């Protein structure tokens, strides 16, 4: 009898993959380059006594982001993909149980991601040699990061157990993950403010998976060790509850029409396409007159309903926080955060929706059939653009209206301040809106092109986010630190006495404006170049990518999970 046979097989298969070793090498090399450059900057700027603490904080933030997105990219589509391909039912022809499949899939999907996180930990340990970080704090952070990765993977597996659509599974995982990262801490703070308690209530922060990272420091762990260990244990148990629920759901939802959840999915499909046949026919006639592919891509209504809910939740959360603490509303700089968060939500949502249509049509072969008609590649891309405009014009205008209101109230709060502060506030607000609109256009072009190349929508989404949203910030960080070391630091070191102080004051007054200008120019350049490149690729290689089948499985590679022989128990 073999205990957990699928887990045993997946571990053996993973040990024979080259990607297992390359992922560890790439994660460690990237972390080493980032930390090494940051350490060079800290020492050159005379911050050597704080280098260990600052390096540990920055590397922990990157590891936190890496752990959070693990469930979105590795497990959110693990079981739903097997359902779409019809291979999950083959496993239930054996004596395998639900927990065998769930644990086997989570190991298969996440073992490489776990190795990448483990490869980062030795880089974090460099802060122990630099000083400023205690060994106990280091190990508490390691436990919290590993627990966060497990929580994210378990949540993605739970969502995948009752979903079929890849897009819906990824979107619901993102929404639930954002909610669980924000809601427990917010409820605990509201309860503390309403009761006047000295500390947060343990019962409200038990499921908070980010709370152990906050209480891992030596100062807080001495006085609030119960909050650290309580939230660590509570969130870990919640993760196991997700896996338990997934094990109970999978045997009941692997068929197309099984259980109440499938009936809910059927009702959701009717809501998406509409129940009124006459209205559907009217829209079909109007859309076909404009562009046939526009009707194919835009016939599903209500696609942005979840997006509207998230945007409304963000606005309501800031309104409630300002009502609880009215002093925040009088601070002009606080008005920039809601706009930044709303922009980020739309920037993350649009590429996921823009690449989905091409990925699904390529997978089903529908795109090849459409290309056999008189429709050209340019008309197909234009129809997709019209569908995106129909879906996102409401949310975009809503965000722009909120930006205008935030600018109005922020200007009212800063109108009596210094003229330089007013200029900085206006420049930041205007630059944010300008970069937001440019990024939306570039993300739409880029995600459509990535959708012609990727097999899964979350892979295309990840490349879009890294290429257009993450890479410019890394370039900006390198340029900023290099400029500080090569230009500003020698200028201040060579100056002396009063000239040094005067020069420092002058540069510090204009430094925010210089940084804003540099960020805007870099972001606009990245958006324009990315949009031009993606549009050119679509025009020249659309038909080739649409007819290009997926690469065959390499000789010697392991078979998929559902086709592997399962040893008897």
4-61 pLDDT, tens per residue?
777 777 778 877 888 778 888 888 888 888 888 888 887 777 776 678 888 888 888 8
Mean pLDDT across the stretch 259-267? 54
The token duo for 99 is 């927990």
Q: Is the model's pLDDT at 526 over the cut of 90? A: yes
Neighbours of 549 (CB within 10 A): 8
pTM for the whole thing? 0.77
The token duo for 3 is 């205990």
The residue that leads in pLDDT, 461 or 496, is: 461
pLDDT at 562: 42
pLDDT at 433: 92
The residue that leads in pLDDT, 159 or 272, is: 159
Neighbours of 283 (CB within 10 A): 15
Residue 566: pLDDT band with limits 50, 70, 90 = very low
Where b means 16+ CB within 10 Å and e means fewer, 24-60 reads: beebbeebeebbeebbebbeeeeeeeebbbbbbeebb
The residue that leads in pLDDT, 497 or 6, is: 6
Contact call for residues 314 and 339 (beta carbons, < 8 A): no
pLDDT digits (tens, 9 = 90+) for 162-191: 887 777 777 788 778 878 887 787 777 777
Q: Is the model's pLDDT at 117 over the cut of 80? A: yes
List CB contacts of 28: < 8 A, sequence separation 6 or more.
119, 120, 122, 123
Mean pLDDT across the stretch 72-86? 79
For helices 98-124 and 5-15, the axis angle rounded to 10 degrees is 40
pLDDT at 564: 44
pLDDT at 568: 43
List CB contacts of 226: < 8 A, sequence separation 6 or more.
202
Mean pLDDT across the stretch 252-267? 57
Q: Look at the chain and count its residues.
A: 569
Cα 352 to its chain centre, rounded Å, is 11
Q: What percent of the chain has pLDDT over 70?
A: 83
Name the region of 259 (left: φ>0; alpha: ψ -120 to 50; beta: rest). Answer: left
C-alpha closest to that of 34 among 58, 67, 53, 51: 58
Q: Is the model's pLDDT at 240 over the cut of 90? A: yes
pLDDT digits (tens, 9 = 90+) for 392-448: 999 999 999 999 998 888 887 776 666 677 788 888 888 889 999 999 999 999 999
Contact call for residues 95 and 138 (beta carbons, < 8 A): no
Q: Is the model's pLDDT at 264 over the cut of 80? A: no
Element (H, E) at 8: helix 5-15
Mean pLDDT across the stretch 270-290? 71
The C-alpha atoms of residue 384 and residue 356 are separated, in whole angstroms, by 11
Q: SS3 helix, strand, coil % of the chain, rounded to 5?
A: 85, 0, 15
């Amino acid at each position: 009898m073999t205990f957990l046979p699928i887990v045993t097989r997946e571990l053996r298969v993973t040990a024979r993959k080259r990607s297992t070793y390359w992922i560890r090498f790439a994660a460690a090399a990237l972390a080493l380059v980032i930390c090494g450059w940051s350490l060079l900057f800290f020492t050159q700027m005379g911050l050597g006594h704080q280098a260990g603490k600052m390096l540990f904080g920055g590397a922990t933030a990157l590891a936190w982001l890496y752990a959070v997105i693990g469930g979105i990219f590795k497990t959110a589509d693990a079981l739903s993909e097997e359902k779409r391909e019809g291979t999950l039912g083959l496993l239930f022809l054996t004596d395998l149980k639900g927990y065998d499949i769930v644990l086997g899939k989570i190991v298969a999907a996440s073992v490489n991601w776990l190795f990448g996180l483990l490869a980062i930990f030795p880089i974090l340990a460099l802060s122990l040699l630099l000083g400023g970080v205690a060994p106990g704090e280091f190990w508490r952070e390691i436990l919290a990061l590993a627990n966060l990765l497990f929580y994210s993977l378990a949540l993605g597996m739970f969502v995948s157990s009752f979903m079929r659509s890849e897009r819906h599974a990824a979107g619901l995982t993102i929404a639930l993950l954002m909610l669980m990262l924000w809601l427990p801490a917010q409820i605990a703070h509201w309860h503390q403010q309403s009761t006047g308690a000295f500390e947060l209530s343990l019962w409200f922060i038990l499921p908070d998976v980010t709370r152990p990272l906050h209480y891992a420091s030596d100062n807080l762990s001495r006085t609030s060790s119960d909050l650290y260990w309580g939230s660590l244990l509570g969130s870990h148990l919640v993760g196991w509850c997700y896996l338990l629920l997934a094990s109970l759901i999978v045997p009941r939802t692997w068929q197309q029409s099984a259980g109440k959840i499938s009936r809910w999915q059927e009702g959701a499909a009717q809501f998406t396409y509409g129940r009124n046949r006459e209205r559907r026919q009217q829209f079909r006639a109007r859309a076909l007159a404009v562009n046939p592919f526009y009707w194919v891509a835009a016939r599903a209504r209500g696609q942005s309903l979840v997006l509207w809910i998230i945007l409304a939740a963000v606005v309501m959360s800031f309104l409630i926080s300002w009502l609880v603490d009215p002093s925040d509303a009088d601070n002009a700089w606080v008005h920039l955060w809601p706009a930044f968060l709303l922009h980020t939500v739309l920037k993350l949502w649009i590429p996921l929706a823009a690449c989905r249509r091409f990925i699904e049509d390529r997978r089903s072969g529908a795109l090849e059939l459409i290309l056999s008609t008189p429709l050209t590649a340019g008309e197909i891309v234009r129809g997709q653009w019209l569908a995106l405009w129909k879906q996102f014009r409401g949310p975009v205008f809503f965000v722009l209206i909120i930006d205008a209101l935030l600018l109005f109230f922020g200007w009212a709060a800063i109108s009596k301040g210094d003229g330089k502060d007013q200029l900085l506030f206006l420049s930041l607000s205007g630059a944010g809106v300008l970069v937001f609109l440019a990024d939306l256009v570039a993300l739409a072009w880029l995600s459509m092109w990535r959708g012609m190349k990727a097999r899964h929508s979350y892979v295309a989404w990840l490349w879009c986010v890294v290429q257009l949203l993450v890479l410019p910030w890394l370039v900006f960080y390198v340029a900023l630190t290099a400029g500080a070391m090569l230009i500003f630091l020698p200028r201040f070191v060579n100056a002396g006495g009063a000239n040094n102080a005067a020069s420092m004051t002058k540069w510090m007054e204009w430094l925010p404006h210089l940084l804003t200008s540099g960020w805007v120019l870099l972001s606009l350049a990245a958006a324009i170049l990315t949009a031009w490149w993606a549009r050119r690729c679509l025009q020249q290689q659309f038909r080739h990518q649409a007819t290009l089948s997926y690469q065959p499985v390499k000789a010697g590679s392991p078979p998929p999970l559902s086709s592997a022989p399962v040893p008897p128990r």
